[in-house]
Structure 1
Amino acid sequence: MESRKNLTGSVGGIAGLALTFTGVAGPYWPVVVAGLYGAGALLAPPERPPLPDFPDPSAQLEELREDFDKLSTYLADIELPPAASGRLTELSELLTALLDPGWVAEILAQDPEGVHALSRAVRQDIPEAVDTFVRTRWWTRLTPGTEPPERHLERQLSLLQEEFGRLAATLRDVEARRQESLTRYLEDRSD
């Protein structure tokens, strides 16, 4: 009933009735009304399918916070060497600060690549790095003299910390540019 084709056709049909009452359609008024309805229905633009309902970035961040809590619980049960444990603690603090609800999360929500990078780190990179370390450590005990897996874990955690340090710096720069823009606007307004 409410489709575009039906509404456009109905407008055409009403125009046909108007032509009938003014005497233009004559004895063929049913054909004129039906023809104008059909022409309107054919000329109407097709229905557009609705856009997919994707979760907004703040909902994605909420899910990511929940996953980060699960990851933190998992990591609490893993025994790591002191150096790797320190790196993991620093990385966790940085991720906690980035995922903390508030104005930082609002800025982060505007950066889909940053949200994706955080998601990848929480859901894939960190768990895989720690799990690979645990598995490799077991094999290293069987074959002494090989490179210790702690070095790889420390390097992986360092690389992740560098990546998210750059993300934090980018978010800080966004706010600095916003502040500078406001200053310029106020200066221009006062001139």
Structure 2
Amino acid sequence: MATSRGVLRFLESRKNLTGSACGIAGLALTFAGVAGPYWPVVVAGLYGAGALVAPPERPAPPGFPDPSEQLGEVREDFGRLRDYLAEVDVPPVAAARLTQLDELLTALLDPGWAAELLAQDPEALHALGRAVRQDVPEAVDTYARTRWWTRIAPGQEQPERHLERQLTLVHDELTGIVGTLRETEARRQESHTRYLEERNP
């Protein structure tokens, strides 16, 4: 089975197709009377020459999703994260921070010009996906598990403090993304102003 696939791959390769085209040209020369009695050598030589000059085969690059598709996937994961958070009991301060994160993520992920700008920034898109898929759910899940152990063995540092600190750090990172996107738009606006000024001295 593997051998037949290898033969088929060779028959469809650029080297074989180019060599075959040159070999056919050799046959045409033979019928024209140019090759004479050495026509097999001419045909084989032209085939070999064509196979040598043919461009090498290269595998097609993997088809990774484009930024807009990645953003759509993050948006879907954010919906799943919301469903998860709706079932988790967290202290009031952490709940307030989660509400702020929800509002910030909603504003960034809502379809529109902000999402289009975000899709053009791979680092910001990666950070946003990491916050939705890893940072927030891990912080909340770790809190829920640690709180259970703390109830059995009290006296340790309260897990609420770690949760609040983690959510604050995630919020700060996302706020930084907003600032970066705002600066990008500001530079675009300044560039357009300079263009108009240069066009109308």
Residue 147 of structure 1: how far off its partner (Å):
2.2
Q: What amino acid is the match of 1:61? A: L
Match of 1:116 in 2: 126
Residue 32 of structure 1: how far off its partner (Å):
0.9
Residue 187 of structure 1: how far off its partner (Å):
2.3
Q: What amino acid is the match of 2:193? A: T
- What TM-score comes out, normalization by structure 1 length? 0.89
Q: What amino acid is the match of 2:89? A: E
Cα distance in 2 for partners of 1:31, 1:131 equals 75
Residue 23 of structure 1: how far off its partner (Å):
5.0
- Secondary structure class of the residue paired with 1:28: helix
Match of 2:8 in 1: none
Residue 69 of structure 1: how far off its partner (Å):
0.8
Match of 2:5 in 1: none
Give % identity. 73
Match of 2:173 in 1: 163
CA-atom RMSD in angstroms: 2.0
Cα distance in 1 for partners of 2:184, 2:12 equals 46
Residue 14 of structure 1: how far off its partner (Å):
4.8
Q: Where does structure 1 differ by over 6 angstroms across 4 or more consecutive aligned residues?
A: none
Q: 1:186 to 1:23 in 2, by over 3 A?
A: farther
Pairwise mapping of residues 127-142 of structure 1 onto structure 2 (< 5 A)?
127-142=137-152
Moved more, 13-22 or 125-134: 13-22
Residue 15 of structure 1: how far off its partner (Å):
4.4
Gaps of 5+ in 2: 1-10
Match of 1:77 in 2: 87
Match of 1:154 in 2: 164
1:98 aligns with 2:129: no
- What TM-score comes out, normalization by structure 2 length? 0.85
Moved more, 166-175 or 177-186: 177-186
Identify the match of residue 39 of structure 1 among 32, 49, 59: 49
Residue 149 of structure 1: how far off its partner (Å):
1.4
Q: What amino acid is the match of 1:159? A: L
Gaps of 5+ in 1: none
Residue 27 of structure 1: how far off its partner (Å):
2.5
- Secondary structure class of the residue paired with 1:52: coil
